[in-house]
Amino acid sequence: MIDIKTNISDFMEEQKICVKKLSSLEKILVEIIQILVQKRDQGKNIILFGNGGSASTSSHFVSDLLKTSITEGSKRFKAISLVDNIPVSTAWSNDVSYNDVFVEQLKNFIDSGDLIIVFSGSGKSKNVIKAMKYAKKSNATVIGFTGMTGGLFPEICDICHITPSNDMLTIESIHLMLCHCIISTLRKFGTPQFKYEYQKKILKLDIRQIPGIIYEYFNYRWCRVCWFGTYTHID
């Protein structure tokens, strides 16, 4: 019988250990952020991809680059995730090979000087490696986020960040955290267009009038109604 509490404690401790080890890799993050700003200001494409959990990370990171990172007076990122068009992905996978799902899409977008950002827990996925090699031949800069031993990423990437863990769940969690670290830093380069801090204003509502979560598109960007009758506006 599994001891749930112990398992949770062990998992949290493993995350703490991994995060602590990341301090020795801060210089790599600095380089990545500098390149991102450079490519943004040059108007270059930033193309991301990965498989499974890494696919969702690439989509999430693109979302943050396109919106959350915006600062007043600065250029915007031209970012795209190759995992988001399901019909295109399944077409290449079905008609050619899943190993070509990224490289063939890359051929539609990539230009010399573009930036490619790739996520892979193992650094060995064939479709990812194939696309990375094509990107290098196309004179693009390749940044890789991986884990374990790094796989083939260190020998292909211009910059490679290897999460110090052999656990795939930990690696994927850290990758997303690193993306948020990058976005948080980019927001400090200027005045962010969007703020996400909680507002102190709280209104009391009669819970009987409100069945659940309400979105008020005209007056607020987002709001949440708690079942305890407290309305909290989040700007």
Phi, psi of 163, rounded to the nearest 5 degrees: -65, 125
The token duo for 203 is: 């209104």
User: What confidence score (pLDDT) does residue 1 get?
Assistant: 82
User: What confidence score (pLDDT) does residue 231 get?
Assistant: 39
User: What confidence score (pLDDT) does residue 198 get?
Assistant: 58
Angstrom distances, CA of residue 59 to CA of 10, 14, 83, 198: 29, 26, 7, 25
Tell which residue, 43, 33, 16, 4, has the closest CA to residue 164: 16
User: What confidence score (pLDDT) does residue 206 get?
Assistant: 42
User: What confidence score (pLDDT) does residue 226 get?
Assistant: 38
In our burial notation (b when 16+ CB lie closer than 10 A, e otherwise), range 179-216 reads: bebbbebbbeeeebeeeeeeeeeeeeeeeeeeeeeeee
Task: Please give the domain boundaries of the chain with CATH numbers for all domains.
Answer: 4-187 (3.40.50.10490), 198-234 (no CATH)
Tell which residue, 153, 161, 159, 156, has the closest CA to residue 179: 161
* CA atoms of 221 and 233, how far apart (whole Å): 9
User: What confidence score (pLDDT) does residue 195 get?
Assistant: 86
**Low-confidence spans in the chain with pLDDT less than 70:** 197-235
Predicted TM-score (pTM) of this structure: 0.83
Q: Cβ–Cβ contacts within 10 Å for residue 154, how many?
A: 13
Pair 135, 153: CB distance under 8 Å:
no
The helix (run of H) or strand (run of E) holding residue 234 is: strand 230-234
pLDDT tens-digit map of 128-138: 999 999 999 99
* CA atoms of 89 and 175, how far apart (whole Å): 23
Pair 86, 96: CB distance under 8 Å:
no
User: What confidence score (pLDDT) does residue 2 get?
Assistant: 86
User: What confidence score (pLDDT) does residue 49 get?
Assistant: 98
* CA atoms of 161 and 178, how far apart (whole Å): 10
